[in-house]
Structure 1
Amino acid sequence: MHHSVSAVLLFFLLAGEGAALAQSPASTVGLSVRRIELASDDAQPAPEVAVSLGLSTVFLFDSEASREGLMLEGRERFAMVDAGLNTLRLVPSEKISAGERLKLTVRFQDGAAPASATFVLVAHPARSEALVEVYRRKRSVETYQEEVRQARIEATQCREENERLRAERSAPDGLTGLISTKVLSGRGVDFRDVTMDVTQGPGGAAGKQLVLAYRTARRVAVEVTLKYVGDAQPWTAVGATLRSKTSDELKVRQVWQSGPVAPGSDTQRVVVEAEAASESPQGSFTLKLWDADMRRTVTLGNVTFP
């Protein structure tokens, strides 16, 4: 069943009216390569590397590493630890907690300096660094050229994003703004009540009461009414991901919450807005929300769009 009146009211909110807690989290959609160069002394701090439940993080070393010399704090929190001579693949299991910090030390076989490398694995609720290249020796010209190429692509994307943000900031509020930025693009807003279909993961920081899914020509949004479930600490979502069953991730544009979920607050609304990957995103998505310390999350599965 599709509706349109309250949907337009929601997108008034997304356009900027009454967004007291509006936030625009940085997006890390897409796979990028992290490059780490090791110094020959112990002066540099241990680099932090993001890992996440069920997602692979692969280290690629330019020197052969010792499998016996691998030391991983909290090894039981990983579903896979696959160590090769030049590679190390890690997949965290459900035993890992968001915000947890675990030390990883890799020792090299050739005895050259530095003899080992230490990293701090930081558990993120939904995102991980897919590929980390680690260099002990002087890097080749080709790797620097590739890094420059990626930097140019990212700079171009940043310029385009800045131009889009400036255009949206200069647009009028309300329905006129939605029309001027082509969010509606002549088709209006469709929405669907998916409360009965959506499943909630165990141990959430708040309970779901109502879930509505919205779609326009260029955007999708999920509105979740959350209820207090007895957590003593107030909870406010600061970040979100929308990921399909095939691990495709929609680019989240902003997260808005009407107020903290806390004792006495009854219910609060959270709205997650994302770019539509296609005219009509197919299949179901998992919505994950997390707070500032990344330890308390809300996970909703089987979210579908009209």
Structure 2
Amino acid sequence: MLLQSSPRTPPGVGACETVERVELASPTGGREICVSPGLATNLRFDAPAFVELQDEVRFEQVVRDRRLLTLMPPPDMAEGERLRLTVHFEGEPSPSGISLMLVGHSGQATHQVEVSRDERTRESLRRELLQERARTAQLREALARAAARLHQSGGLRGLILSGALGSNAIQFHEFYQGSKGYTEGELTVTRGASYRSDKTVALEVWLENSGTTPWTVAGAALSVNGVPMEGLSWEATTIPPGQRDRVVVEVPAIRGEPQGNVTLRLWEEGPRTIDIPDVIFP
């Protein structure tokens, strides 16, 4: 008696891998295969086998070999529809075979399925490792391209679109430099510069760590006459012993502000803090 297919919500999009490995000897092995009308799926077996397909007459194409099965799902296969595929290995004592489920997806399918009756060989594991390395390399390249696009969009075009540029453009002022630096404890401000756009002000301070342990910025505050300004943004920075690095903070401010005694405070998770006074904006 033929089993009737029944609709069911398909697994998530992330479940459809380009290459899938089904280990029949493992009780936790995956037994569902993503298929899609118009997309071919190849199943490779580690031993000679023959298969039975539920509703095979509906399939667009089925090509069999002793160790390979190529199938094109039914053109009318609905998303979430499930069709049973039963594998019989040659010489297998059990007449019932082992069942896999073909699950219908829209526009995505697993292109190759490696079906292992026994534990996988070292060569199979080596191929998977090489494939994963290639996939990782592709992801890294895609990430690098995305970062490049982000960097490009963050240039002058990004500033113009954000409305940060006005008739006075970006203004700059240097308030600490060289011998005019500022030291507190194990930290020395070797250089300090301030910037102003139409909507924000920013500070760039270079800190040198003369201590014996790394110094990581865990918090920042920019105060005017002792009152912290709201909306400050900054990035965590770790300065190794004997080295220097910069810390950049930014806060919303209109033209002419802030006015008064401006101080930048930076602190770490431990007891060390630094209060940088006499901050001047252009």
The structure with more strand, counted as a fraction of residues: 2
Query: Which of the five TM-score ranges fits, normalised by the shorter chain?
Result: 0.3 to 0.5
Structure with larger RCO (C-alpha < 8 A, sep 6+): 1
Larger radius of gyration: 2
TM-score by length of structure 1 reads 0.41
TM-score by length of structure 2 reads 0.44
